[in-house]
Amino acid sequence: MVNNFTQIRRLLDFKSNDDFYFLQILQRKKDHKDGQKVNGTNNNSRLIKAYYVKSIEQFDFIEKEVIQLCDLFNARAGINLNKRSFEKTALQHLKLVTDNIINRNYDKVYKTYSSAAGKFSHDNNKKWIIDIDKDELHLVDEIIRIIEKIMPIGTPKIITTIPSKSGVHLITTAFNLQEFKINFPSIDVQKNNPTNLYIP
């Protein structure tokens, strides 16, 4: 079990009523080793519930429910640490609805708000995730050392380390990805993905 509520709570920053963080509970096929089918869009994952977290108070309030749903469905909760904007998400949502109607994809219209919230970040201070699995954990100190030496130089780039079930997510600010890939070509860097909030 991985519970990162306390650690992630410290990373949330609400500057206005327009800010929110996108949180999803997903049931993943690969978490069900018994061959159980997951009835989602592509049978690889199923959205159990999405939250649009607009305050620390709301984040604290939903914690118990998120944990209960994850335990019930053997699902995992993830939160994207790049803030969203209600205004800009609404505009992207309108575009996605229009595109689906034009393309006669009427059955997909109901999914467009969560799709817009997932795809479009509006945070000026981008947070990236370096996904390090258990076979690469011995590289963590070296990865941190290299990141701090590449552009932009003189700016602290490591925010925190978030535990996962089989490794860690290193949360960073943006940096020169080309320089990083010279040293670590196989390490996955995610620019707009959720990190682990709770995994049963």
Query: Model confidence over 7-42: pLDDT tens digits?
Result: 999 999 999 999 999 999 999 876 655 555 555 555
Q: Which residues contact residue 161 at a Cβ distance below 8 angstroms, ignoring those fewer than 6 apart?
A: 140, 168, 169, 170, 171
- DSSP state letters, 24-40: EEEEEGGG-TT-----S
Per-residue pLDDT band at 125 (split at 50, 70, 90): confident
Q: Tokens standing for 179?
A: 């320089």
Q: Which residues pair with 1 in a beta bridge?
A: none
Query: Model confidence over 35-49: pLDDT tens digits?
Result: 555 555 555 678 999
Query: Model confidence over 127-166: pLDDT tens digits?
Result: 999 999 888 888 889 899 889 888 777 778 899 999 998 8
98-124 burial, b for 16+ CB within 10 Å, e for fewer?
A: eebeeeeeeebeebbbbbbbbebbbbe
The average pLDDT across 173-181 equals 90
**How far apart, in whole angstroms, are the C-alpha atoms of residue 155 and residue 150?**
10
- DSSP state letters, 170-184: EEEE---HHHHHHH-
pTM here? 0.88
Q: Kindly report the CA angle at 90 between 42 and 169, in degrees rounded to 5?
A: 55
The average pLDDT across 55-69 equals 98
| Alpha helix ranges (H) inside 31-190 | 56-73, 86-102, 112-119, 140-149, 177-183
Q: Could you say which DSSP state residue 57 is in? A: H
**How far apart, in whole angstroms, are the C-alpha atoms of residue 187 and residue 181?**
8
Longest pairwise C-alpha distance within the chain: 51
Work out the end-to-end distance of the chain between its first and last CA atoms, rounded to an integer number of angstroms: 5
Amino acid at residue number 10: R
